[in-house]
Amino acid sequence: MIEAVVFDVDGTLVDSVDLHARAWQDAFSDFGHEIGFGEIRGQIGKGGDQLMPVFLSPEEMEAKGEALSKHRARLMQERYLPEIRPFPGVPALFRRLREDGVRIALASSAKADELQEYKRIAGIEDLVDVETSSDDAERSKPFPDIFRAALSRLKGVAPAAAIAIGDTPYDAEAAAGAGLRTIGVLCGGFPESDLRRAGCVAIFEGPADLLARFDASPLARKAPAG
């Protein structure tokens, strides 16, 4: 029986993947790197520490990586944060889980201050038990550090008694590294085939679809044998 659910945030609870890609594209351009939107979008879900080396050499990372990352954060805050909207059904899904006694954690590659904004946008500020961000992990997704940090805060919950929910293959890979199964959602724009290849045990359109089919999902309480 599931005791805790560990949610990704961007692309899972809030509609922000395209906006993050645009912020990264703008930041790279401002630092002299013209990179296609699609190339960057396919990397969203990773933290900046894992995304930037896809496009920058080790020497460029050393010279400008930190400044570029900070610039991206400013652009996201100033240009794109006001455009982020929640996906339908998020607070209702969280309340349903809490009614079943399930604890809720967030495990996001976002910075801690961004994560607070996303909680507000999603309407879940008072519905989260624990949370971790890229600030709580040495390496961001697809490494498992963030999920391991979330599990460590869900004291007494074994990986087998928890499940992750995310929209990218990087979520599923990171969760598997922490011993978690993953439910995939398509609302972040990644193909179902990519999510299944990454190991997702079930796929839903988004939070509202997962809530509508809750009793047939891996989140459902199972009737006792006999």
Which tens digit of pLDDT belongs to each residue from 5-58? 999 999 999 999 999 999 999 999 999 999 999 999 999 999 899 999 999 999
List residues bridging with 107 in a β-sheet: 132
pTM for the full predicted model: 0.93
CA neighbor of 1 nearest in space, from 162, 189, 152, 146: 162
Q: How far apart are CA 43 and CA 23, in angstroms?
A: 13
CB distance 44 to 11 below 8 Å: yes
Q: Which residues neighbour 205 within 8 Å (Cβ) at sequence distance 6 or greater?
A: 185, 186, 187
Tokens encoding 8: 């990704």
Q: Quick one: how many helices (H) and strands (E) in the chain?
A: 10, 8
Query: Is residue 143 a contact partner of residue 137, using CB atoms and an 8 Å limit?
Result: yes
Query: In the structure, what pLDDT confidence band is assigned to residue 223 with cuts at 50, 70 and 90?
Result: very low
How far is it, in rounded angstroms, from Cα 14 to Cα 54?
25
Cβ neighbors of 107 (< 8 A, separation 6 or more) are 6, 7, 8, 131, 132, 146, 147, 149, 150, 164, 174
pLDDT per residue as tens digits for the range 195-221: 999 999 999 999 999 999 999 999 997
